Structure 1
Amino acid sequence: MYFVDRSIAVIKPKQPFLDWLNGVPENDIKLSLADIRNDCTVLMIPEVNEQEDGISYIDDIADKLFEMELASWYEDESVWPQKRTLKLFWEWFDVEIHSMLVDTLDSEIQNSPQDVIAQ
């Protein structure tokens, strides 16, 4: 085991995201908040010692995160909310910042060739 020079952020949908999701016409299955908060997106972010630094980083990439979360449910952008602001991101998502990341495996991390969140 070894410490990794990254921190993590967990993106958790809130009720407004669920309301949008359940309101999409193509959605035949009605989900609960517990359903969509059960298996959330976890991001490696730059190493931070203060929560505020992690939140600031999330603010900087919130537009890409918002799109990524929407696309994980519906790739059709026509059903996405048209005005995706930083304020709306924080209304739709909780973010947990965790400063310590430990790798428990001896094998190297394999990176995906797809650049999901390019800066």
Structure 2
Amino acid sequence: MYFVDRSVAVIKPKAPFLNWLNAVPDNDMIDLSLDALRADCTVLLLPEFDEPEDAISHIDELYEQIFRMELASWYEDEDLWPKDMSLKTFWEWFDVEVHSTLLDTVDADIMNSPASPV
């Protein structure tokens, strides 16, 4: 195992995100629960931070990109997205768990590829 010089943030949808999903016209997701939605979440690698508040400030700087990525993972049509995508709304729609220790258990190079542009 190897220590990785990064922190991680887990982006977990909250009830308002589920409410938006359920309100999208022609939604065919039957019985999607918040627990199911939060079971497999986006994880972001962040720079190492000494203080959790610094990691949260970093998320604040990236919130619009993260918000758009989370919405696009369900619906690419931006007309279906909420009109209010402010920082305040981001924090109402998502919990963010920050973790300072990241270990790589694979003895192979990490393959990088750019995230889909949103």
What aligned pairs does 1:18-97 form with structure 2 within 5 A after superposition? 18-30=18-30, 31-97=32-98
TM-score (norm 1): 0.93
Cα deviation code 1:5-25 (max 9, x no counterpart): 100000000000000001101
Q: Tell me the distance in 1 between the aligned counterparts of 2:91 and 2:115.
A: 24
Any gaps of 5 or more consecutive residues in structure 2? none
Shift of 1:116: 4.4
Shift of 1:26: 2.5
Cα deviation code 1:28-47 (max 9, x no counterpart): 12311011001000000011
4+ runs of 1 displaced by more than 4 Å?
115-118
**Could you say what secondary structure the match of 2:7 adopts?**
strand
**1:59–1:116: structure 2 CA closer, same or farther, 3 Å change rule?**
farther
Name the Cα RMSD after superposition: 1.4
Q: Among all aligned residue pairs of Structure 1 and Structure 2, give the percentage whose two residues are the same amino acid.
A: 62
Shift of 1:83: 2.0
TM-score (norm 2): 0.94
Tell me the number of residue pairs that the alignment of Structure 1 and Structure 2 aligns: 117
Any gaps of 5 or more consecutive residues in structure 1? none
